[in-house]
Amino acid sequence: MSDQHGSGLWWIGEHAYQDAKGRVPGMLRGISLTAARGVDTEEFLVRLGADPEQLECGELYKERHELAIPPDMGDVSRAMYGTCGGWLYVLEDTWAATWSLGYREVPEMDPFVGEEIICLTLNLGPGPSRILHAPGDDGRTWQAEFAESTGRNSKLDTALHAAGAVFPTAYDGVHTQEEASRYFEEHHRDIPARVFASVGDYCGLTIDRAAVEAGTLPLVLLPVPQL
């Protein structure tokens, strides 16, 4: 699984848990992704908690430490964003994606019928890495841990299976516990790359690795939901 041009999404997962030393000006390690289509870019970012005036200023992510944070904002996730095709994407290298923290409790983050949201949150603190998918047909959000499917037999699930991102278990009616455990031991480090690659394939979404590492995508400040 490789891409010499650094596009696609596999590389985000490949570097999910690498050592933090030698950090780049932008992001490389520990990136969570929120992607949405059928939404207006600024409107969706404001629903995540962004300040419209900050968005209008047009700062780049690499300038994030030069921007004063209003005292009333509390904890802030310094994120970057962009668009590809019909998708808006938001990248964060804090411990979890903002949308994953707030979609159940913050009304503004509720997924609307007619918009699709996919969130890959690494949860570098407590809790497992998760796939969240709001297909946009009924306002509901489905979720699975990395190495699982959502169980809906959706096109996203098909993409996860095709990328090898759904691991065998002792409950799939095919593998024994020993076989499943052995497969996990041999391939567990590949899980994030396979998950990100499958979502990139499903969405037709590519993100320029060089721009992300250099921090030349737009900056957005997102207050961490206080739940």
Domains of the chain, by residue range, sit at 10-223
Enter the pTM of the model: 0.93
The tokens describing 93, both together, are 């290298």
DSSP assignment of 44-108 equals: HHHHTT--HHHHHHT-BGGGGGGSPPPGGG-SEEEEEEEEETTEEEEEE-SSS-HHHHHTTT-GG
CB 191 within 8 A of CB 146: yes
Model confidence over 52-109: pLDDT tens digits?
Answer: 999 999 999 999 988 878 777 778 999 999 999 999 999 999 989 999 999 999 999 9
Model confidence over 69-80: pLDDT tens digits?
Answer: 877 777 899 999
Model confidence over 130-187: pLDDT tens digits?
Answer: 999 999 998 899 999 999 999 999 999 999 999 999 999 878 878 889 999 999 999 9
Max Cα–Cα distance, the chain, nearest Å? 56
